[in-house]
Amino acid sequence: MKTVVFLLVTLAAYSQPLRVYSEFAQIDATGKVTAPAEPREILSPAIARNAFSSFQVVVDVPEGTPFQLYVAQNPEHAVEATLYRENGGVLTRVEQPASGNGTQVFWMDLWTARDAPVARIKVEPQLHVNNDWVIYPIEARVVEAIVPDTGRFSAGRPAQEVMGNYLCNRPDASIVNETRSVFTFRERNAQQDVNLAAPVKDELLKLFGSCDAPPSPDPEWYLRIRDYLLRLPQSVR
């Protein structure tokens, strides 16, 4: 795989053919974000160890334009990166390079090992299109947090519901669903957060808000909960 070649390529009417968003951004079939109005910029995300971190990658090129998508790392194999093609919420695993033509949305799953060093690493989606390269620069921060082993939770519940049930001591009525989807992977990631939350449950409930409050209409609201957990020093855990 080629790595650093060109950081920018201009396609007619497509000024940003490669974009990366959080797992919670709502993206339509044309690759446009429908919510929130101002999605979080993904440049230096914190990622926990013994855990998955997920992002959505949009390849936005004219219909009929073939492309190949890679995930490059420095150092190599710093994380285990898996790509899935999104289609109506269903995720289908694809081998790298992921090929296609026209606009498509991918789910990028990063698994960070328990013994990974606390460090900054480069995890860069790279798009090969029209005999050129577009690179989306991400310098991920592997933090001290180590997620306790997570059981099987795959009913596809929203992250706010998963955390709310834990903080508000509501019964868990999830059912196992083997389908890989955006919804089941979001729940999996939220359960990782729950497993980090025990030492700071009372403080986290204050940040979460009233147990009777309706879910926030901002799909990225939940990121404030994850940010809080990943900033905690290891001594608190």
Assign 1 a pLDDT band (cuts: 50, 70, 90).
very low
Half-sphere exposure of 196 (CA within 13 A, CB side): 27
State the pLDDT at residue 237: 56
Rounded to two decimals, the pTM is: 0.86
Point out the least confidently predicted range of 49-53, 101-105, 122-126, 175-179.
Answer: 175-179
Query: According to the model, what pLDDT value does residue 81 have?
Result: 96
Half-sphere exposure of 32 (CA within 13 A, CB side): 4
pLDDT in tens, 90-114: 999 999 999 999 999 999 999 999 9
Tokens of 121: 């690493």
55 pLDDT more than 50: yes
Which two structure tokens, joined as six digits, stand for 117?
Answer: 């060093």
pLDDT in tens, 202-220: 999 999 988 888 888 999 9
CATH topology for 18-145 is Immunoglobulin-like (2.60.40)
- For 29-53, how does the pLDDT look when each residue is reduced to its tens digit (9 = 90+)? 899 999 999 999 999 999 999 999 9
% of the chain with per-residue pLDDT over 70 = 86
Mean pLDDT of the chain: 87
Band of pLDDT at residue 14, cut at 50, 70 and 90: very low
**Which residues, 6+ apart, have CB-to-CB distance to 189 below 8 Å?**
23, 51, 52, 53, 54, 159
The reported pLDDT for the residue numbered 161 is 87
Predicted confidence at residue 57, as pLDDT, reads 98
pLDDT in the model for residue 209: 87
Ranges of each domain in the chain: 18-145, 159-231
Residue 162: the pLDDT is: 87
Q: What is the pLDDT of residue 180?
A: 82
Please choose, from the candidates 57, 54, 70, the residue with its C-alpha nearest in 3D space to the C-alpha of residue 16.
57
Per cent of the chain over pLDDT 90 is 70
pLDDT in the model for residue 120: 97
- Segment 168-189 shows an average pLDDT of 77
For residue 191, pLDDT beyond 60 = yes
The mean pLDDT of 168-174, rounded to a whole number, is 69
What is the residue whose two structure tokens read 């900054």? 120
pLDDT at position 13 over 50: no
CA nearest to 45, candidates 126, 107, 160, 122: 122
